[in-house]
Amino acid sequence: MSTSENQPPTPTTDISEQHLPVLGRPLEVRVDERGVERAIRKLRRLMASEGVLREIKRRRHYEKPSIKGKRKLREAERRRKRRQRKARMER
């Protein structure tokens, strides 16, 4: 019996694991007889619909809190206008 078996696991040193919260559910695509290429296309569509790619691009660089707040306000305004436009079209 070695001493390493009795020691508690050491915390991870990988920065990406420490600072990225787990969001949503894991994405899963099954590969069937239609092939890997089709599964990759399906995975890309799924990632796009879940916003994974957008989130990865956004986290590539540090975003100052002031810039982050302005971006969130712009996004909220865009969503509000889209909802208003959609409500007018339904009338």
Gyration radius of the chain over CA positions = 21
Output b/e per residue, 59-88; b: 16+ Cβ within 10 A. Answer: eeeeeeeeeeeeeeeeeeeeeeeeeeeeee
Model confidence pLDDT, tens digit, residues 34-46? 889 999 998 999 8
Is residue 38 a part of any domain in this protein? yes
Question: What share of the chain in percent tops pLDDT 70?
Answer: 74
Is residue 11 a part of any domain in this protein? no
Overall number of domains in the chain? 2
Q: Indicate the pTM of the whole model.
A: 0.50
90 three-state secondary structure: helix
- Comparing 34 with 62, the larger pLDDT belongs to 62
Please check whether residues 68 and 56 belong to one and the same domain: no
Q: Which amino acid is at 18?
A: Q
Range of the domain at 44: 27-60
